[in-house]
Structure 1
Amino acid sequence: MTTTERLETMENLWDSLSRSSDEVASPKWHEDVLTSRRKHIDSGNAKFYTLDQIKSHFSR
Structure 2
Amino acid sequence: MGVDNAVLSSDTEEMNTYSHKLHFIIDTVLAKHDANTYLKLLRHDGSVVLVGLPPEP
Shorter-normalised TM range:
under 0.3
Greater helix content: 1
Q: Which has the larger radius of gyration?
A: 1
Q: Higher relative contact order by CA 8 Å / sep ≥ 6: 1 or 2?
A: 2
Greater strand content: 2
The normalised TM-score by structure 2 is: 0.24
